[in-house]
Structure 1
């Protein structure tokens, strides 16, 4: 084991490692006067910068969360390094040859340190890049060429090829001095001793400072044992999927200058954007865009007030893209920066757009951005049948809730006008509905702007109140009580919910909770599990959804001790509400159909079938 680092070497590192340079790799700093620099704190979320760096003193301090210290403390905190690892990393960066004594020091940590894991990824990336030029990688090179990328582009982005013999990488890394434990903890080699990415084209995933911390890989061969077309490094001590963005190392400088981040869906889209002149493109790695990703971008843009920086999403125009846009909008308040959408013609992604129409078309796509809430508004209105009066009422009501949630009040009038035009009502009717939506939001708004007021013991729901109905709305009482039964009394509910499905829950949060229950095995499995609620909550990484699960698990059931009849009543009422909605739809289709046509007979047959099911449900209540 290496000897202890001498104090004089530590002092030399501390003196030569300029804190403004090291911190500047993670946070965009601006002159705050008096020799100080200021930026958004990387250790907690904030809208107004309270994170200060004093270069002359070599110190940092955040007046918001009270974190502070020197350059060594900063790096230890932000990257989770031990003291020795931090010194070694800084020494390498500033060119200090560390001196050690002859004695040994006790091991400071369990398992491989961050420095070793990063080094393993660096060597693996170099190996993959070399393999891309071998005869075995002809399929990978053809794939890149078909996407419009030449050898220079592959080199610039570090694209590589993982040999079909996955043991070759492990052998290479072991020959470079890495242990089996280090390779497994790093996620480079699986428990079976082979590369996780064998036979695939690879992309290195880097932090903003350029350190390789993971890989993305795409399927090339039909015989690939892993089904997914794209796979990513699994969670490791240095790779957290909700915080990493592919391309962030290349986008960093552009983000500071342009104040514009472009979020695309894949690795080749990042490459296409960058080569087209859109140098601030990034992509998530196997996960949806989260508020944590937004924090990373805002820190690098230095978007202190959340008003100057832009985050532009290039969603597809299909149903999946629309759904993704709605999910992002649900967390829009967490991003703080203005958010936009750019949709290419024919739903093409940036890579395909560059191939078919050239670099200029990609730049034009980004410049054609439109506000995210406008895009979502059109999708919301488009869900309803505007030829029917009730459809127009529902579209107006949901659209008004959306307009009322727009942060920039100066734009609300314009979007109210747009809403009126989309739905086909006069401006005053739309404005009145927006005012009602604003009033509802103000009554339910807590001290923290943009968050729903929680009743005692009730956490905030998974989305702001303006986006989804109140969890306490009486319309959803049966859904709420049923979920409470499932979580608190899985033995009592038993197999009663076997016929219940996600469509029976009309509130999106309650539907999401039901899906967690199903993913955890359902109430039958829960009946035998003393840790049932923890098991359900562990299925999601969404803290707010987890809070709703916790609330439902502790809120009192309306019956002191739910007996089978109480359980059956709620299950039947839940299913009966679903059937009522389906019957209404069937009636609507029947009214719009030609009595002499097949569609009329089909709708009539479905209506009779649904009515029989509803009568059977009611009979279960009366005979129980």
Structure 2
């Protein structure tokens, strides 16, 4: 079996390989983090070796290590790719009982994906076909991406899979069904459009399903839960279709949703991928780096696309925090008018999507401007604060040759005529970071020292002196412990109304789990929220908020919940009023009449809304 497929054909599904000298090939090691290519493959000998971490072996060993396969599963994967039929000799030929667990689960997903595609052609699926058509996707596009439809009903897929020889244990283990209240299995996806999620080799390992009907109380997007074959932090939707173009072009495009991937590919941007119900994280970076051949010697590019709204800007800044994990350039393409790539293609055509991706802004420039905009640069104190925050961003630029250019740009943004003063300040910070790496890690708050971005955020603790944080925390506790008391108003609150980062993450997890209104119908909403958490730290915070008592001497009721709904909204409104007043002050006499009228109009509307909340309480939400 080791000779059935060349080892480079196996490895190429995971790592871009280039000439390593002689008959050897090299790439970025998939088993450890590195900025230079030390992973070598010898095709004629059928072996690999990494000179960085020491991992080595043949093609079967490679699959066992990278996919965590058993020996049998690795053999089965290679046999399937090579078109070889295996015979299971011990006890005769009985694939159901002798094939590896992973192989059985993958087969069940393939059968399910084909069945979902067939259902998209039924009369019941008209609502799904209409959804696709309204977004510019015809039947051919749906077929290309394998989009299907899960019919309304409790066990259509379960019965079909049973008829194909799959056991209830396999169906449940693969996340294709869940345990019903009466003990039987029920389909996980019902009355939804379904996208198959594939690994790098093209095998279906999970699904993403989009809500279509108003009476569906579940989350807008429902994904396969964590299973033996599906780990959302290790998966990028569309990667099986995009990997060759990513390797060929040296560019990866990261978008936010399934329809955005479809729109980009159909517009000719075939290097687009998306995460599957989770934030773009370190494991996703590793996948892209391997395909980009992302080393300090090679200059590839990763382009992130985000909506131009506040949530999109926050997502872009989170991506900036991961910039140091790339050797490649990182850029951002902000879609105009708050449109996502799917809406952009539908409104302005394929050319607009291609133009968006071809003209991104460096992520450092975006982060720099965002840092400056957070301060009142019309005051000396605001300029000083903006200088300190933005300077730390510039010192993170890997290419020192362009640090000076960004320093000059920062001076212009701040209105500081003495450019050399800004350049010297940034040089001092950069020198301190180079000369004191240990102090920087151990004493991040030392006077005069830049505070590094932590690679892992510690579990958040409430600041007892901050009443605003107390309001956020109390309302999240109510949403988790008593979702019926805060719904439906809570579900209309955005991430920006929970400005404390760990609480923002919990708010997102609640939304991902279906929201408080949906949670009020469940016997255990917290479990659904925990499943929707992006990592163990957020999951731990959800658990903490679930067990912490509500801070009221009486039993929590609608009145108590309403008080905190109003308090949180008032905090958000007051913050926005302060921002608009600062904007009005910056415009001064320099703004056009139209600009001044627009800003003054927003300020008046905010003040009126604040007065309504103070007068009418929760009734004014």
TM-score normalised over the length of structure 1:
0.72
Contact 1:306 1:338 in 2 (8 A): no
Stretches of structure 1 that go unaligned for 5 or more consecutive residues are: 1-12, 472-478, 487-492, 521-536, 549-577, 607-624
Q: What's the secondary structure of 1:60's corresponding residue?
A: strand
Quick check: 1:137 aligned with 2:128?
A: no
What's the offset of the Cα at 1:81?
A: 1.7
What's the offset of the Cα at 1:17?
A: 2.1
| Higher gyration radius (CA) | 1
Q: CA deviation digits over 1:381-423, x for unaligned, max 9? A: 1111222221111112111111121111111111112111111
1:388-403 map, 5 Å = 388-403=379-394
TM-score normalised over the length of structure 2:
0.73
Q: CA deviation digits over 1:462-490, x for unaligned, max 9? A: xx96555999xxxxxxx99x95xx8xxxx
Output the CA distance in 2 between the equivalents of 1:539 and 1:150: 31
Quick check: 1:256 aligned with 2:247?
A: yes
1:196 corresponds to: 188
Structure 1 counterpart of 2:374, from 369, 383, 398: 383
Runs of 4+ in 1 over 3 A off after TM superposition: 102-112, 464-471, 496-500, 502-505, 510-520, 537-548
Stretches of structure 2 that go unaligned for 5 or more consecutive residues are: 474-498, 510-529, 542-570, 586-599, 611-621
2:46 corresponds to: 58
What's the offset of the Cα at 1:303?
A: 2.2
CA 1:384–1:213: 2 relative to 1, 3 Å = same
Structure 1 counterpart of 2:162, from 161, 166, 174: 174
1:501 corresponds to: 469
Output the CA distance in 2 between the equivalents of 1:130 and 1:66: 47
Contact 1:132 1:161 in 2 (8 A): yes
Quick check: 1:408 aligned with 2:395?
A: no
1:438 corresponds to: 430
1:438-477 map, 5 Å = 438-446=430-438, 452-454=440-442, 468=453
Q: CA deviation digits over 1:476-529, x for unaligned, max 9? A: xxx99x95xx8xxxxxx9xx7895726999xxxx96578899999xxxxxxxxx
2:207 corresponds to: 215
Q: What's the secondary structure of 2:334's corresponding residue?
A: coil
Contact 2:176 2:188 in 1 (8 A): yes
1:38 corresponds to: 26
1:173-572 map, 5 Å = 173-192=161-180, 193-226=185-218, 228-305=219-296, 307-426=298-417, 427-446=419-438, 452-454=440-442, 468=453, 483=461, 501=469
Output the CA distance in 1 between the equivalents of 2:70 and 2:332: 42
Quick check: 1:99 aligned with 2:91?
A: no
Q: What's the secondary structure of 2:131's corresponding residue?
A: helix
2:525 corresponds to: none
What's the offset of the Cα at 1:546?
A: 11
Greater Cα offset, 127-136 or 289-298? 289-298
1:14 corresponds to: 2
Output the CA distance in 2 between the equivalents of 1:503 and 1:68: 54
Q: What's the secondary structure of 2:178's corresponding residue?
A: coil
CA 1:290–1:72: 2 relative to 1, 3 Å = same
Output the CA distance in 2 between the equivalents of 1:354 and 1:56: 46
Q: What's the secondary structure of 1:218's corresponding residue?
A: strand
Q: How many residues are paired up?
A: 505
